[in-house]
A and B are shown apart, each in its own frame.
Chain A
Amino acid sequence: MSIAAAKQSSKTGWIAGLMLAVLFVFSLCVGVGDMPIIRLFSDGRVLELLLVSRLPRTLAAILTGAGLAIAGLIMQTLARNRYVEPATAGTAQSAELGILLVTLLLPSASLLFKSLAASAAALLGTTLFLMTAHRLPPTQPFLVPLFGLVYGGVIGAAVTFVAWQADLLQYLSVWTNGDFSGVLRGRYELLWLGALMVVIAWIVADRLTIMALGRDASIGLGLDYARMLQLGLVIVSVISALSVVVVGMIPFVGLVVPNIVSRLMGDNIRGTLPFVAASGAILVLGCDILGRLIRHPYEIPVGTVMGCVGGLIFLWLLFRRPSHV
């Protein structure tokens, strides 16, 4: 990294950190319950509200946002296509299918076990997607996301069908639309496993950058391609499955954030990974706060807000960028 680029990135880093800190504090203060900050330590109920509801919710938003953005980044590296992300490549829908089947077969399973099943299903669905996606002609880059979207739609139809038969449609909507309003202390801690996955991604970041060069080039550079592919798939699947289990599906985070960051800072994953994570967290937390404010004291689920905000950003990205990818 040249000195100018390093300066630039440290400046961007400061801005991102500051924004995240501001949103963090703001998110702690916004909500239905009245929470005067000055009485934080004198009034026990204020502290309790903070620790039981606001803090977990804020942390959950940050963890989910960072995790989904990283999952999108890795997914884009693996598929070698800028326009895929877990929610549009069947990963999230496979995770839903996994939870649904566990709920039907073993209704008493713990949340951890459900997450495991969801992760396994997500892994299977994503592997199938990648195997097929590699057979599509590389000269038409838009075919891969298109394939992913319809693939996700077909799995989604299967999920709806099973849920319909078992009379679980209402239950299903908890996972299909991301919402942080149910997050309380004791109900989001699984998301820290996603943070662990982000750390693993950080450790192998250099190898991921090489993987982006393609299979032959990375094998030529001495990379164990198959192992890295498996690792990448596991990271993507676990992060998406956890966020589906705990908060539900949030579209566009994994798509929009890595694209913007790569436009600003290039494609060295070691250098961009912290910014991708921070921007993802900022985007999701910002949308959650927006959802809480638009119709205060009622709430709009973060998945809906993100569908509008993210959709607009993505269309802007599509039509601004020259047609080569």
Chain B
Amino acid sequence: MPDRRLLCLAGAALLCIVAFMTIGLRGNIGFVLALRAMKLAALLQVSVSIAVSTVIFQTVTNNRILTPSIMGLDALYLFGQMLLVFLLGGLGYAALDAQLKFGGEIIVLMALATGLLLPMLRRRTDMGLMLLAGIIFGILFRSLHSLLARLIDPNDFAVVQGASFANFNDVRTDLLAFAAILTIVGIVIAWRARHVLDVMALGADTATGLGISWSRTVTGLLLLVSALVAVSTALVGPVAFFGLLVVALAERVVDTRSHAALMPAAMLTAVIILVGGQALFQHALGSSSTLGVVIEFVGGFAFLVLLVFGSRK
């Protein structure tokens, strides 16, 4: 029963949240709680947006091992950010309102991502080719990013420097409110589209036969995915294999590809791993900086296992 399993997941997620808020409380309790609540809000947004964007992306590309970050979307976001700094100059960039800036970055990412991915999806490019191209895009954008980083003023560089590594410890709280609106709107759209997504999962031809305007829907969904990727990358930085790990686990738990069950399951799994992991590493073990690397390692390993065993069937 997916329903009961979802309830179990929700219970576990709640437990992780409580653990995150309460373990190791010391000193001025009110202050600590407020600080942790801010962080919790950010972590929740990141988990949810990564989970939803990955589920949608996998449905649109009709593949289980593709995620937005494997296709280089978060590298693209960082590149877009660097491009803005390069064009506007560090002072001009820093003088901009944080929310305006974030909005600009999201629009840049949406335009770039749709421009790059839509032609590939339209041409029904072979999946392996697309994967490889995506990974190369990732390396290319990272290199372009560091190339631009070398070209701009060292002072300007300091403005964007912090963003290029995943950091769950020191999240950007100034963007929280704006990102929250985006995340909630994104979830609502995704939830309302759950049945469309179920149809899309049948493949482009069947979906068209069932009366869905394929390329218009794909465009819309890609825009949604880019916005969600922008949210998570802006808040904590790039996380390569987290989405893959989360969706693969959630699929094992609910044992269905129906979006009405898979999307909430993926969100809850993401919350359990991220919030629970952060509670464990930061509050219980005291080594806060390592969660990103551990997730990277475990997620990458999960990817390899999926690849070797999944392809032999």
Contact = CB atoms under 8 A, between A and B. Distances in A.
A161 B294 CA distance: 8
A228 to B, nearest CB: 25
B137 interface: yes
A50 to B, nearest CB: 27
Contacts of A303: 143
Interface stretch (B100-108, B224-232, B258-266, B300-308): B300-308
B293 A146 contact: no
A150 B304 CA distance: 7
A17 interface: no
Contacts of A314: 136
A304 B135 contact: no
Contact of B307 (A147, A157, A161): A147
Nearest to A317: B136
Interface string B241-259: 1000000000000000000
B136 A164 contact: no
Nearest to B301: A154
Given A142-B132, A161-B290, A312 B150 contact: no
A151 interface: yes
Interface in A133-188: 135-137, 140-143, 145-147, 149-151, 153-154, 157-158, 160-161, 164-165, 177
Interface in B80-124: none
Nearest to B120: A319
Nearest to A141: B128
Interface string A300-318: 1101111110011011001
Interface in B114-156: 126-129, 131-133, 135-137, 139-140, 142-144, 146-147, 150-151
A136 B313 CA distance: 11
A160 B166 CA distance: 12
Most chain A CB atoms below 10 A, which of B131, B142, B147, B151: B147
A295 interface: yes
Nearest to A162: B293
B301 to A, nearest CB: 6
B178 interface: no
B311 A311 contact: no
A144 B140 CA distance: 20
A302 B300 CA distance: 28
B293 A315 contact: no
A83 B128 CA distance: 12
B300 A312 contact: no
Given A142-B129, A161-B290, A300-B147, A307 B142 contact: yes
Contact of A251 (B139, B296, B300, B312): B139
Contact of B131 (A146, A298, A300): A146
A307 B296 contact: no
Contacts of A37: none
A308 B296 contact: no
Given A136-B308, A154-B297, A298 B150 contact: yes
15 contacts: A142-B128, A142-B132, A143-B128, A145-B132, A146-B131, A146-B135, A153-B240, A153-B296, A153-B300, A161-B297, A304-B150, A305-B147, A307-B139, A318-B133, A323-B126
Interface of A: 83, 132, 135-137, 140-143, 145-147, 149-151, 153-154, 157-158, 160-161, 164-165, 177, 251, 294-295, 298, 300-301, 303-308, 311-312, 314-315, 318-319, 323
| The 4 nearest A-B residue pairs measured at CB | A307-B143, A142-B128, A311-B140, A154-B300
